[in-house]
Amino acid sequence: DTEVTQTPKHLVMGMTNKKSLKCEQHMGHRAMYWYKQKAKKPPELMFVYSYEKLSINESVPSRFSPECPNSSLLNLHLHALQPEDSALYLCASSRQVNTGELFFGEGSRLTVL
């Protein structure tokens, strides 16, 4: 099983809403990542978790709040987002941080109204 599962696939939210994106993998990977991708651009790294601890925060605004409840799950909590935050949010995992192959989920398409 080389699958990273993301839910929901699509999310529409207002600027005052609170929502969460979820990511799950069962490959025994100990590194998990959140990326943001705008149209026709490469993915941009947001957060890296290594062994359930936050390893990298790429100066992401606090309206994005990551959480890693266990080694298989990664959440991204969203609050008071702006329309410019609309994008494809991708979760990825690897055996350890930046070793081995990086596996991506299908993404969550977020629209902020």
Partner 1 sequence: KQEVTQIPAALSVPEGENLVLNCSFTDSAIYNLQWFRQDPGKGLTSLLLIQSSQREQTSGRLNASLDKSSGRSTLYIAASQPGDSATYLCAVGRFGNEKLTFGTGTRLTIIP
Determine, following the binding rule CB under 8 A, whether residue 88 of this chain makes contact with partner 1.
yes
Please classify residue 32 by burial: count the beta carbons closer than 10 Å to its beta carbon, then call 0-12 exposed, 13-18 middle and 19+ buried. buried
At a CB cut-off of 8 Å and minimum separation 6, what does 59 contact?
none
Q: Please, which contacts does 83-86 make with residues 24 or more away whose CB atoms are closer than 8 Å?
A: 83/15, 83/112, 83/113, 84/112, 85/110, 85/112, 86/110, 86/111, 86/112
Residue 25 interacts with partner 1 (CB under 8 A)? Answer: no
Copy the structure tokens of residue 35.
């990326």
Footprint (CB under 8 A) of partner 1, residues 26-45: 41-43, 45
Please identify, using beta-carbon distances, which residue of 14 and 100 lies nearer to partner 1.
100
Q: Is 56 in the site for partner 1 (CB under 8 A)?
A: yes
| Among the residue ranges 13-21, 59-67, 79-87, 97-105, the one whose residues contact partner 1 (CB under 8 A) | 97-105
105 binds partner 1 (CB under 8 A): yes
Binding site for partner 1 (CB under 8 A): 4, 6, 41-43, 45, 48, 50, 55-56, 58, 88, 90, 92, 97-107, 109
